[in-house]
Chain A
């Protein structure tokens, strides 16, 4: 596998469920990001990790909990979500926190019912 891989591709969950999204990058990058993409809205940066350390939390509700065990893996743990959290969740990576040279994964399409 090359690039940035996200699993699962699709997820339907109830509001009381707990689930996790996984992201893995094979590019040797040291910064990883979670973005939310809703229809007809700009990409919203949620979390930033640099060398496994969280360097930014963009006022994201606590029902979203990120985890970065190493520079290649990133998780987003989800619990008690709301229907308005339904969106495409994109993981990205880059070298040394640079914006040019972002590589995005294909995303997880999340539906909260």
Chain B
């Protein structure tokens, strides 16, 4: 079993839809949870970062962590074609560089 599981997609939605992207994990010691967005032919860029449980909101994006279920989510409201990218989750036990990444979910938002 992989430490972090992420559905590769692709996930195709119409513009304006609410998108839900998810990761499950097996290591209950993970405390730091991140979402990266990677456009085609670019490197990943940090989108959201959450410590421990709870929700965090930034504009149209909401990150949610449920440690009891070992499940994290990224919600995108009013999705735009410019949101089309691959979304990677990443997590770590401490704040060090030892991140464990998911394999990414490819999202396509249709105009």
Chain A residues near B (Cβ < 8 Å): 4, 6, 9, 31, 33, 40-43, 45, 48, 90, 92, 94, 97-107, 109
Contact = CB atoms under 8 A, between A and B. Distances in A.
B55 to A, nearest CB: 18
Given A90-B43, A107-B42, 12 more contacts: A9-B41, A45-B98, A92-B43, A97-B97, A98-B96, A99-B92, A99-B97, A100-B95, A101-B46, A102-B44, A102-B46, A107-B43
A105 B104 CA distance: 18
Given A104-B43, A106-B41, A99 B103 contact: no
Interface of B: 2, 4, 8, 32, 34, 41-46, 49, 88, 90, 92, 95-104
B97 A48 contact: yes
8 interchain residue pairs of minimum CB distance:
A104-B43, A42-B101, A43-B101, A99-B99, A99-B97, A42-B103, A99-B92, A106-B43
A20 to B, nearest CB: 19
Given A43-B88, A90-B43, A107-B43, A102 B99 contact: yes
Contacts, number: 66
